[in-house]
A and B are shown apart, each in its own frame.
Chain A
Amino acid sequence: EDKVVQSPLSLVVHEGDTVTLNCSYEVTNFRSLLWYKQEKKAPTFLFMLTSSGIEKKSGRLSSILDKKELFSILNITATQTGDSAVYLCAVEPNSGGSNYKLTFGKGTLLTVNP
């Protein structure tokens, strides 16, 4: 059974701080790892990672994958109150067929205080 564990479960920081969110996983035949941001509604896509060591960046957010150690981190620098959200990590297996499904972690609740 595929498994995703995120840590910490919650985190409170001040504006301007840098945060690192962790995601470890177990999956049969890994295909990709995805990060989503969820505010008070539907999750929105941030990054998809398929190869180790290649950092994905989007503004102040960046993410990297370590396929050997089976984990990923999401970094947010110079945090802003608008970064407050639940950050979800998910893994996609490569079943080799037409199956497609994601297994999500429980998420990290990030609160950025002014």
Chain B
Amino acid sequence: NAGVTQTPKFQVLKTGQSMTLQCAQDMNHEYMSWYRQDPGMGLRLIHYSVGAGITDQGEVPNGYNVSRSTTEDFPLRLLSAAPSQTSVYFCASSYSMGRNTQYFGPGTRLTVL
């Protein structure tokens, strides 16, 4: 199993550009989440999904969209990038039942100029 994969690893955008961060998992996990991590802020939940076709907002959803058309993929879209969205983005997944250990992807470091 590849686990949770994220692409790209690094990205630089200009203010106003849009892009999609990709996340995929091959563990047949139902739950998937997107977090951002800023210095001194810990991890903050952006959006999450409890299964294909079902998504919900987390703590900091503004400026981001998600969709979950398949169990495996959970892309995060930045509609119009802003410097405040400069951060490291982590995708995570877990089973719905039992031990709810979240497995994290390697992260995407995004810089918005």
Measured CB to CB, the residues of A under 8 A from B are 4, 9, 31-32, 34, 41-45, 48, 88, 90, 92, 98-107
Contact = CB atoms under 8 A, between A and B. Distances in A.
Contacts of A31: 100
B44 A104 contact: yes
B107 A99 contact: no
A34 B101 contact: yes
B101 A45 contact: yes
Contacts of A43: 43, 90, 104
Contacts of A104: 35, 42-44
B42 A105 contact: yes
Interface of B: 31, 33, 35, 40-45, 48, 50-51, 54, 56, 58-59, 90, 94, 96, 99-107
A42 B105 contact: yes
18 contacts: A31-B100, A34-B101, A41-B107, A42-B90, A42-B104, A42-B105, A42-B106, A43-B43, A44-B104, A99-B50, A100-B31, A100-B94, A100-B96, A101-B33, A103-B59, A104-B42, A106-B40, A107-B42
